[in-house]
Amino acid sequence: MIGKVLSSDFMKIRRTWIWLLIFLGPFGVVSLQAINFSLRYDYLTKLYADDLWGGLLNNVQYLAAPALLFGITLIASMIAGLEHRLNSWKQLLALPVSRFHVFTAKFALNLILLLSACVLLAAGSILLGAGLGFGWDIPWQRLFIISFYPFFAAMPVLALQLWLSIVMRNQAIPLTCGIMGTILSLYSIKMPDWIPLKWPHLVNAADVPEYSVLAGLAAGAVIYTASLVHFARRDVN
């Protein structure tokens, strides 16, 4: 049943700007780094002479984390806002489909779209490094970490933003929360390790990025469960 609801959701977003945003996020990150390395090529290649790919990927990661949080905010709001604008929540919930399936399909749609953006980021990073003349000795593990770990660590943000976007008809509130969270995340490296906005940056006292991922997945599961229970009991206009 989730598959049928998810298929319907994909049909709904077919003629929206969502797919363009999924492309523009990674493209923007890679493009900014392309400009950065092009303008400061001699300096940066000397700075990262011992590990050119590592230096490039570190710079990509610095921009990717806030871009991801902002993307989560926009995509969750657009998906939920589509139902609000069409006044279709009551019609949707009146169908012989459980609220669990409806909410889970929305969550899965966000996951698929944002994972697609992560794949595009990885591909763009590879092309950028090759274009800059760094060769094809790509550190695949590091590439996977910077491309996908921040997304897994950002699960609490995704669950919360989707929750707010669904239960609030006025999308200004979840958008404001998400934008403020994105701005705060730029300064989160100096925050305590238990702050969720810090987790997508993969920085912690133990210097183990997997800790941030595990914390994000665990907290995300808790918020998703709480939001699912709330959605199942609440009227959505």
Query: Could you list the mean pLDDT of each consecutive 10-residue stretch along the chain, which spans 237 residues?
Result: 76 85 93 92 89 92 93 93 78 76 90 95 95 90 94 96 90 92 89 92 91 96 93 73
pLDDT on residue 1: 64
| Sequence letter at residue 146 | I
Answer whether 162's CB lies under 8 Å from 80's CB: yes
Q: How many CA atoms lie within 13 A of 146 on its CB side?
A: 27
- Measuring CA to CA, which residue among 108, 111, 117, 137 is closest to residue 64? 117
Answer whether 165's CB lies under 8 Å from 171's CB: yes
